[in-house]
Chain A
Amino acid sequence: AQSVAQPEDQVNVAEGNPLTVKCTYSVSGNPYLFWYVQYPNRGLQFLLKYITGDNLVKGSYGFEAEFNKSQTSFHLKKPSALVSDSALYFCAVRGYNQAGTALIFGKGTTLSVSS
């Protein structure tokens, strides 16, 4: 069965500092991995995805994520955080050999960036 773990309920970081939001996954075969962001009272917005190729994926708003197959991780990163990055972040997975299935999401991590 597919699953995603986001071990931190909340991440606090000062503006201008680098941020990392952690994600580990479990899936049979190769994974497709996704990050989404949710602002208050809004739907989920797609940030970036890993399908194949380069382990470092770049996405919207300066975010990037690093795929690590040996550690089954897909951590979200940004070199310099902004207050406006404060939101709820979700990691999601789908198995490569499970094209007919839905995305499975982690429980989410609240990112709080202080000025």
Chain B
Amino acid sequence: DAGVIQSPRHEVTEMGQEVTLRCKPISGHDYLFWYRQTMMRGLELLIYFNNNVPIDDSGMPEDRFSAKMPNASFSTLKIQPSEPRDSAVYFCASSSRAGNTEAFFGQGTRLTVV
């Protein structure tokens, strides 16, 4: 398996624009997580899904953020409209069970909003 695949790797956009980040989890994994990494706040959980259903979105910072998982092999994180404070590295991770198994991370998307 190629692991968790995220696209794009880098995104530079202007304030106010819509940004869509994409993730393909490892085949067979039924949990998918979106995290955000910044220097100030470290690694924050934004939202996670189980069997394509959102379970906990309490980490989503504002209504400008939304996430979907239309099927088991694809998820998106959308920011509309984007703001400079959204600049961060966004990671997607997946795991087979959310108990004693580790999560596997993608390479991340570095988002810069100017």
Q: How many residues of B contact A (CB 8 A)?
A: 24
6 CB-based A-B contacts, threshold 8 Å: A34-B102, A36-B105, A46-B103, A51-B100, A94-B99, A99-B97
15 additional A-B residue pairs with CB within 8 Å, beyond A44-B105, A100-B50, A103-B45: A32-B100, A42-B107, A44-B91, A44-B93, A45-B105, A46-B102, A49-B100, A49-B102, A99-B97, A102-B45, A102-B103, A105-B43, A107-B43, A108-B42, A108-B43
How many angstroms between the C-alpha atoms of A45 and B102 in the bound complex?
10
Chain B residue contacts of A103, Cβ below 8 A:
33, 45, 103
Q: Which residues of A contact B (CB under 8 A)?
A: 32, 34, 36, 42-46, 49, 51, 90, 94, 99-108
How many angstroms between the C-alpha atoms of A58 and B21 in the bound complex?
35
Please report the number of residue pairs spanning A and B whose Cβ atoms sit closer than 8 angstroms. Answer: 53
